[in-house]
């Protein structure tokens, strides 16, 4: 069976370096917020081209802490998409803000700037103060940052990018995560840059917000046991930081392998009754997922499973239709594209350690299943 992802293969590819990094931490006797975390923060910021980075416990906390560090207040609105991991919305609510869900572009499945404009107007008509926009660079493809940044500037809003699926993606030559006031990255094991456990990192355009986040992640401490303000416990531990330092060195090469696999898929699946991933001009797609759209997803999944190919659905239920959110989130714009696309999306196997033989086998299985 060809899996949709293979975390163990990722470890095996760098096992000697990872094992050495883990042993280094174990022998150091320092396991929380030490030299490894500080080094990872410096190295990640340098790789991204950001002025600062702060390691935290996970990507959901990264969203919450970014909002708090930038001064978003409870009850203020944060505009994001419904077609995303529920973690995006959970992080917004953890900060006390109100998630305002907008529609997506049907081709890229990323935030629709036209829907964003309508949603801001609708929210304000309902008496909601809009404070921030949080585009999600879904599946490894950048949002239309020209249009979104224009909306943000015109209305004086904060911009926090959710880059949990776009480590290394480019929009017009710029890294996702460098356009706004802050960017949140999940470093969950299946991400393009993944730890071997939970981890996250948040970056900022201004050092003052990064400094505040370093306090927020540890009870609001500037000095030990003295809370300047109410914080949380969201610390990136030394073991994960050391592992991430190893994996960061191989990230660009891993993203290139993902692009090579996507090229095999794109060439082999062209002409089939499927919507293949679209890459916006002047962008670099890093294929966190390779997501096709099909009118007959259930049948295709069954036939691929029978052929030894695993698939997944990212994501089967938009946030606004999930039981926890359906009855209470403000409705600010029709989510027409979201509701139409969600029953059609299907993720094919995608991980850097896939061989060309495996990728070709997936292509043959999809051709046979759609014939």
* pLDDT exceeds 90 at position 223: no
Helix (H, G, I), strand (E, B) or coil at 191: coil
- 295: phi then psi, degrees, rounded to nearest 5: -75, -15
How high is the pLDDT of residue 191? 98
Does one domain contain both 57 and 194? yes
Does one domain contain both 163 and 262? no
How high is the pLDDT of residue 144? 98
Range 227-251 average pLDDT:
97
Distance CA(130)–CA(149), nearest Å, equals 15
Q: What is the largest CA-CA distance in the chain?
A: 67
How high is the pLDDT of residue 114? 98
Instruction: Give the residue ranges of DSSP H helices in the chain.
Output: 7-13, 15-28, 35-48, 59-69, 86-94, 113-125, 145-155, 207-216, 238-249, 251-269, 297-306, 336-341, 356-370
- 187: phi then psi, degrees, rounded to nearest 5: -120, 35
Range 304-309 average pLDDT:
98
How high is the pLDDT of residue 200? 98
Q: Is residue 68 part of a domain?
A: yes
Helix (H, G, I), strand (E, B) or coil at 35: helix
How high is the pLDDT of residue 96? 98
Q: How many domains would you assign to the chain?
A: 2
Instruction: Say which CATH number the domain at 332 has.
Output: 3.90.1150.10
Does one domain contain both 132 and 65? yes
Question: CA 50, 255, 149, 317 torsion: positive or negative?
Answer: negative
Residues of the chain above pLDDT 90, percent: 97
For residue 19, give its domain range: 7-249
Residue 181's pLDDT band (boundaries 50, 70, 90)? very high
* pLDDT exceeds 90 at position 371: no
How high is the pLDDT of residue 7? 97
Helix (H) or strand (E) holding 54: strand 52-56
29-74 pLDDT, tens per residue? 999 999 999 999 999 999 999 999 999 999 999 999 999 999 999 9
Does one domain contain both 242 and 261? no
Q: Is residue 289 part of a domain?
A: yes
How high is the pLDDT of residue 2? 98
Tell whether pTM > 0.75.
yes
Q: DSSP letters along 73-109, please?
A: PTT-EEEEESSS-HHHHHHHHHTT-EEEEE-B-TTT-
Rounded to the nearest integer, the mean pLDDT of the chain is 97
Does one domain contain both 181 and 321? no
Does one domain contain both 224 and 280? no
* pLDDT exceeds 90 at position 319: yes
* pLDDT exceeds 90 at position 130: yes
Q: Is residue 325 part of a domain?
A: yes
Q: Is residue 104 part of a domain?
A: yes
């Amino acid at each position: 069976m060809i899996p949709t992802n293979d975390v163990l293969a990722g470890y095996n590819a760098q096992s000697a370096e990872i094992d050495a990094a883990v042993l280094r931490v174990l022998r150091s006797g320092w396991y929380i917020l030490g030299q490894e975390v500080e080094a990872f923060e410096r190295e990640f910021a340098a790789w991204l081209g950001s002025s600062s980075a702060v390691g935290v416990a996970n990507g959901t906390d990264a969203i919450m802490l970014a909002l708090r560090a930038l001064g978003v207040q409870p009850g203020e609105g944060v505009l994001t998409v419904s077609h995303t991991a529920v973690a995006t919305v959970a992080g917004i609510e953890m900060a006390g803000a109100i998630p305002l869900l907008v529609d997506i572009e049907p081709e890229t499945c990323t935030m629709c700037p036209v829907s964003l404009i309508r949603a801001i107007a609708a929210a304000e008509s309902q008496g909601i103060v809009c404070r921030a926009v949080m585009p999600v660079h879904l599946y490894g493809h950048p949002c239309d940052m020209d249009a979104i940044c224009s909306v943000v500037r015109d209305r004086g809003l904060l911009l926090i990018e959710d880059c949990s699926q776009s480590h290394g993606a480019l929009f017009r030559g710029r890294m996702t995560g460098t356009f706004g006031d802050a960017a949140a990255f999940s470093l969950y094991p299946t991400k393009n840059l993944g730890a071997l456990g939970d981890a996250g990192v948040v970056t900022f355009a201004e050092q003052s917000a990064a400094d505040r986040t370093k306090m927020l992640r540890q009870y609001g401490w500037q000095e030990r046991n003295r809370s300047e303000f109410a914080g949380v416990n969201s610390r990136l531990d030394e073991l994960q930081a050391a592992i991430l330092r190893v994996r960061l060195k191989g990230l660009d090469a891993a993203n290139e392998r993902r692009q090579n696999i996507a090229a095999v898929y794109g060439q082999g699946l062209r002409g089939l009754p499927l919507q293949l991933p679209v890459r916006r001009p002047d962008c670099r797609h890093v294929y966190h997922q390779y997501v096709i759209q099909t009118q007959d997803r259930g049948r295709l999944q069954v036939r691929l499973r029978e052929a030894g190919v695993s698939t997944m659905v990212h994501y089967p239920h938009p946030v606004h239709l999930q039981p926890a959110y359906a009855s209470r989130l403000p409705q600010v714009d029709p989510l027409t594209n979201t509701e139409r696309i969600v029953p059609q999306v299907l993720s094919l196997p995608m991980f850097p350690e896939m061989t060309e033989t495996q990728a070709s086998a997936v292509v043959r299985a999809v051709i046979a299943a759609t014939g």
